[in-house]
Amino acid sequence: MPASTPTATVEALVAQLTLDEKALLLEGVDAWNTNGVERLGIRRLFLTDGPHGVRKVRANAGAFGLAEAEPSTSFPTSTTLAKTWDPDLAREVGAAIGRESAALGVDVLLAPGVNIMRSPLCGRNFEYFSEDPLVSGVFGTAFVQGVQSQGVATSVKHFAANSNEDYRFVGDSVVDERALREIYLRAFERIVKEARPATVMCAYNQLNGVYCSDSRELLTGTLRDEWGFDGLVMTDWGATHDRVAGLVAGCDLDMPGQVAHNHAEIIAATHDGRLPAEVLDQAVGRVLALVEHCTHDHDAEPVDAAIHAALAERAATEGAVLLGNDGTLPLDRTRGGLVVIGEQFERMRYQGAGSSLISPPATVSPRDAFDARHIGYRYARGYRALGPKLDAALEHEALDTARDADTVLLFAGLGDLEESEGFDRTSMALPAAQVRLLDALVDAGARVVLVLSTGSPVEIPRQEELAAVLLLSLPGMNGGEATARLLFGEANPSGKLTESWPRTAADASCAADYNRSAVAAYYESIYVGYRFHDKAGTDLRYPFGHGLSYTTFAYRDLAVTVGDGRVEASLTVSNTGDRAGAEVVQLYVRNNRGEVFKADKELRAFAKVQIGAGAEQRVSLGFDLADLAYWDVDTHDWVLENGDYEVLLAASASDVRMAAPLTVTSGRPSRSPYPASVDAAFATPPRSIPTAFAELLGRPVPHAPRTGRLGLETRLGDAGGSLLGRIFLRAVIGRVGKDFDAARAMPDSLERDARVKSTHFVLRMMPSMSLRSMTMSSAGELPFHVAEGLDLIAHGHPIRGIRRLAAKPRPTEETR
């Protein structure tokens, strides 16, 4: 379902609308709907969250309320799906979610998220595909194509450079032009050009000093004029900064809407000329064009829940990554002495927390799958994933159960109290209770197989002493079945990492400035993920692209040809083991050694191939020569440099198997657009913010704003330096904290777990919100004039502030 420019019918409708109706069409209503105009037959649209299922809530609980949702298939999260390295599978999953969306009356699925995994600490990494823009773009394209093939619109998010949760409402992502183009916009560009998504969602944050919802350069200059996007741009929920400036910039739809101030501003700005009539009508036309598409394109195939459940299981199986194995895996199901430790064996963490929380019709835990196979084992819970304290009794029981065990399966990983939308982690450490268990089991001499559920990299203590490590990531509702199949050799692991796993967060490429303040200095420039680690020589736990199998593969007979602007590589891959398996062949290109600083090598193509035991297959991969271009900040365009490159065929970023030279003569001679100080500072990846970063940006690096006082653009958590800020924060936290406390007081059950994780998400997110973001997301619960009054009082204008608080809304702000 491609997006479209307004039709003659749409243009005729625009001409019949009143100014008030136009303003209404440009905002949401009831948290998840657009407004309709009944007299003209314009219906509402229903928008809801993805990206790994359909979260259609049964009741309006507000922009961040996590009310009970209609049942839908919980597929593996995006990070798990990408680890399959199979875009066709991603397209199938997208189509299945599209079918379920259509069946539930959903018009726009708010997915996929294609932000780059800049840091392993980002709380929302599980919703994203990769640290690499090619992987992110290819999987985002496939997902959009799948969903929209069923007549359901998508919303590609979060545009752009949205790489943390702690400062997402007020933060400023300070990114140099080249890194923005090569790393952070590249996936969006591919998706827009190849998949034609119906909508794009702008991010909360500022980008180089301008809120994304206000950035004409981003939303019109780049997205529309340069890339040819012809769909609708909407805000993230509460991301509006200045409604009129946003419309002028190209931000059409304000969600969740029902902010009287914004409605009034549209009308006032139209009258006084700040908002040209043609700009207003253009935005309205885009909303109506989306309504027209969604009305006519609901032709999805019927939903077969069993087929979708099987698809979820397949994706979970193919997305699991065997990180290490001394030969202990696969297990012999007939052999006794198996001990299983860890709550996640019976209460599998199969999805992330936050706005993507799905309500599946059923789940299959690893314990369910073991019991269905009549596997013999002894089990102890070991820890409570949603418990705030260590449980000595559970730990003692687990160690007692594991005494004299032949093999111990330790199910561990991050819980929803450690990893979620709404906040970032402060370290990569596993929960303390799990680390204590792991240490004690290894010290006791047990042969330990670690089974990990996590949406982001974690530290793995004693990794060298473990028998095996199997990463499930977040495998969806049938993840338990996938786990059993992999552990007992019914399926052969074939997933590979789409992000680098440093040993600690201190080794990450952005460690020197991640979440230090509201100003996020992307000082590492293009050196993100493996681009950093390759050149910096990081001693990684696991490299990008890593993943083992129960068989082995050999590469030979590489041939590379160049013609018609394409580079084609072919090689023979042999399965040298006694099991059928799948190999992900990764093609990197080592960059030329020219005048411009570049990563050592970059992923340019990949292919996943299934090969029988003892068999071989000829594999072909290709890419455009233009893909080797870098973004030149002088010409503001892509430039291909002449020089000697090298084509590398690899099993991971650190396991290059074959190489062939590639000489480029169709470009231009290498020359640097940067001052010599920048060339020197970025010849190797910086480990701290270099003084030349300002020169790279072409402007001074902004200082973080002073905090301590309550304000429209201050995080509530930073407003504690004033009495008013402390009072307001205490009131807000007290309100949402009651829900969290009530959830924790419930009897131990799966229902309690669900309530705890959803209320915890809101509780942890609230300190990151500002008065403005609360106003824009609360559908009138916090009116804008009240937020203005509080801001005035906090900034030393008590009389004006009290007057604003006491005053009725301006005439044009009255509730409609």
Distance CA 553, CA 550 (A): 10
- pLDDT tens digits along 580-590: 999 999 999 99
CA distances from 452 to 348, 409, 440, 474 (A): 10, 10, 18, 9
CA distances from 53 to 72, 94, 208, 316, 757 (A): 6, 9, 33, 14, 18
Q: Which residues of 394-404 are buried (b: 16+ CB within 10 A; e: fewer)?
A: bbeebbebbee
> Would you say 458 and 505 are in contact if contact means Cβ atoms under 8 Å apart?
no
Residue 1's SS3 state is coil
CA distances from 484 to 369, 435, 470, 490, 493 (A): 6, 24, 11, 8, 12
Whether 748 has a pLDDT exceeding 90, the answer reads no
Give the pLDDT score at 3.
47
Amino acid at 50: G
Give the pLDDT score at 112.
98
Whether 802 has a pLDDT exceeding 70, the answer reads yes
Alpha helical stretches, state H, 456-506 = 479-487
Active-site residues, by number, are: 236
Distance CA 52, CA 310 (A): 15
Beta strands in 291-421 (DSSP E): 321-325, 338-341, 378-380, 407-413
> Would you say 482 and 493 are in contact if contact means Cβ atoms under 8 Å apart?
no
| Mean pLDDT score across all residues of the chain | 94
Whether 65 has a pLDDT exceeding 60, the answer reads no
Whether 810 has a pLDDT exceeding 70, the answer reads no
> Would you say 147 and 109 are in contact if contact means Cβ atoms under 8 Å apart?
yes
Find, among 625, 607, 629, 630, the residue nearest to 617 by Cα: 607
Amino acid at 220: T
| Preceding peptide of 330 cis, ω within 30° | yes
Give the pLDDT score at 4.
52
Pairwise pLDDT comparison (9 vs 399), residue with the higher score: 399
Highest mean pLDDT among 298-302, 355-359, 480-484: 480-484
Q: Please provide residue 183's backbone torsions phi and psi, each rounded to the nearest 5 degrees.
A: -110, -55
> Would you say 581 and 486 are in contact if contact means Cβ atoms under 8 Å apart?
no
- pLDDT tens digits along 243-281: 999 999 999 999 999 999 999 999 999 999 999 999 999
Q: How many residues does the chain have?
A: 816
Alpha helical stretches, state H, 585-712 = 676-681, 693-697
DSSP per position, 533-549: HHHHT---SB-TT--B-
- Edge-first strand order for the sheet with 643-652 is 601-611, 581-590, 643-652, 655-664
Confidence of residue 749 (pLDDT cuts 50, 70, 90): confident
- pLDDT tens digits along 613-666: 999 999 999 999 999 999 999 999 999 999 999 999 999 999 999 999 999 999
- pLDDT tens digits along 452-499: 999 999 999 999 999 999 999 999 999 999 999 999 999 999 999 999
Residue 36's SS3 state is coil
Give the pLDDT score at 813.
46
Give the pLDDT score at 8.
75
Whether 771 has a pLDDT exceeding 60, the answer reads yes
Residue with token string 């590379």: 560
**Average pLDDT for residues 83-108, to the nearest whole number?**
97
Distance CA 536, CA 553 (A): 29
Whether 609 has a pLDDT exceeding 80, the answer reads yes
Confidence of residue 516 (pLDDT cuts 50, 70, 90): very high
CA distances from 326 to 342, 452, 468, 570 (A): 22, 17, 6, 32
Distance CA 378, CA 114 (A): 42
Confidence of residue 1 (pLDDT cuts 50, 70, 90): low
Give the pLDDT score at 295.
78
Confidence of residue 816 (pLDDT cuts 50, 70, 90): very low
Distance CA 66, CA 69 (A): 8
Give percent of the chain with pLDDT exceeding 90.
89
Whether 17 has a pLDDT exceeding 50, the answer reads yes
Give the pLDDT score at 387.
77
Find, among 188, 185, 176, the residue nearest to 521 by Cα: 176
> Would you say 431 and 414 are in contact if contact means Cβ atoms under 8 Å apart?
yes
The structure's pTM equals 0.96
**Average pLDDT for residues 525-541, to the nearest whole number?**
98
Going 430 to 378 to 368 to 312, the CA torsion angle's sign is: positive
Confidence of residue 389 (pLDDT cuts 50, 70, 90): confident
Which two structure tokens, joined as six digits, stand for 263?
């409605």
CA distances from 251 to 14, 98, 200, 366 (A): 18, 25, 9, 45
